[in-house]
Amino acid sequence: PGHVLVIGAGGVSSVAVHKMAMNPAIFGKVTLASRTVSKCDAIAASVKERTGQTVDTHSIDADDVAATTALINQVKPDLLVNLALPYQDLNLMEACLATGTPYLDTANYEPLDTAKFEYSHQWAYQKRFEEAGLMAVLGSGFDPGVTSIFASWVRRHHIPQIRTIDILDCNGGDHGQAFATNFNPEINIREVTAPARHFQDGKWVETAALSTKRAFDFPEVGERNMYLMYHEELESLVTHFPEIERARFWMTFGDAYLTHLEVLQNVGMTSIEPIMYEGREIVPLQFLKAVLPEPAGLGATTKGKTCIGDIITGSTGDGAEKSVYIYNVCDHEDAYRETGNQAVSYTTGVPAMIGAALMLQGKWSGAGVFNMEQLDPDPFMDMLNEHGLPWQMVDWKLPPIS
């Protein structure tokens, strides 16, 4: 069994660390380090109570490459799992290179000052990881993550020539708060307020944020409005599967959420431009995060289900047309019972654990920087079924989303 060092102690980390501790034959030892060590200790206490396993904890500023390098040299993990924020990705990749440690994360690097959602920064590390003989796996959450694994599994076994892919992300949960985001508010609001972008015939087409809306009847959730957005896995999917003609990403939002967001945007609270306030520079979006409920605290009251998956169309090996819908449904209350976190953290933390398991077991190996769809999807699909995120695939007979 291997030893992992997990960085970050939010909802996603909590789920991943619980799940690692439930699989001691793969994860012989788990060490958890984050900015606020009390959050690590709280996760470790819950893990001890639920599984009997001990998790060592440390305090670390992951933006301090020298400090992280020293911590890695002290702890000597076989793998570093980055479940802090996208801002830390490059600094943690640097520390991994400095110490010869493989790397895995769940979200693409974001500069603090501009919301870009692109892989260029992390793809630029390809040569250095390759030369060091180290593996870096990017985006092992649900989306990105499972949605890309779904695509590569469907491509391998059912539709070798993918023409169109629509990724549909529905959170049908209700947390009982007037306004809250179900993962890190700063990242969530940046993502939702960015212009929508989809891929069509070799080009990116940009449209205004939240301007394209469709109703969709989600399995086990019901009809919800979903909106065209940009999401980082579109970039890597069309890069690695160049036959794709159209790739789009949709996410559901309730009317109340959108009304709150519109007001916050109109008054300037979602801006990432620093302003001066009482002699001190603050970023409005960071201030907003400070007054919103902590996503990790929403688990106890959240009811309902998430449903995330892909509708994929293309031609089979013998040239016939085929469309499938492949998805997972996750219940917020079941997720909370198992690890003390709601389904949005659960659906991200479980795939992070699975990606880490496959790296530790050597089922995924290689030197360089990899996106999920470049790796063997078969063992990952099996582990989703075994570890709490069972998936289903149906032939898609309804008309395509217009």
Of 82-90, 94-102, 220-228, 235-243, which part binds ligand NDP (CB under 6 A)?
A: 82-90
Q: Which of 286, 346, 342 is nearest to 87 (CA)?
A: 286
Q: Is residue 348 close enough to count as binding ligand NDP by CB under 6 A?
A: yes
Residue 34 touches ligand NDP, criterion: CB under 6 A: yes
Q: Could you give phi then psi for residue 289, rounded to 5 degrees?
A: -55, -40
Which residues between 165 and 204 bind ligand NDP (CB under 6 A)?
Answer: 183-184, 187
Binding test (CB under 6 A) with ligand NDP, winner from 103, 109, 123, 142: 142
Instruction: Assign 192 to helix, strand or coil.
Output: helix
Residue choice 11, 284, 309, 314 for contact with ligand NDP (CB under 6 A)? 11
86 lies in the binding site for ligand NDP (CB under 6 A)? yes
* Residue nearer to ligand NDP on the CB measure, 22 or 85: 85
Residues 126 and 103: their CA atoms lie apart, in Å, by: 12
Indicate the residue whose CB is closest to ligand NDP: 10
Per-residue interface string for the shown chain with ligand NDP, residues 99-138, x marking contact by CB under 6 A = -------xx-------------------------------
Taking the least distance from each CB to ligand NDP, the nearer of 39 and 198 is: 39
| 3-state SS, residue 310 | strand
Q: Which is nearer to ligand NDP, 149 or 244 (CB)?
A: 149
When asked if residue 39 is in the footprint of ligand NDP (CB under 6 A), the reply is yes
Does 371 interact with ligand NDP (rule: CB under 6 A)? no
What are the angstrom distances between the C-alpha of 283 and each of 5, 8, 112, 226, 276?
A: 31, 22, 10, 29, 9
Q: How far is the CB of 21 from ligand NDP (least distance, A)?
A: 17
Residue (of 127, 69, 81, 68) closest to 107 by Cα position: 81
Amino acid at 132: A
Q: Report, in Å, the least distance between residue 288 CB and ligand NDP.
A: 14
Identify which of residues 109 and 159 has a Cβ nearer to ligand NDP in the complex. Answer: 109
User: What is d(CA 141, CA 146) in angstroms, rounded to the nearest whole number?
Assistant: 6
Give the residue with the Cβ less far from ligand NDP, 10 or 102: 10
Which residues make beta-bridge pairs with 169? 251, 308
Pinpoint the alpha helices (H) of 200-267: 233-240, 255-266
Rounded CA gap, 161 and 321, in Å? Answer: 10
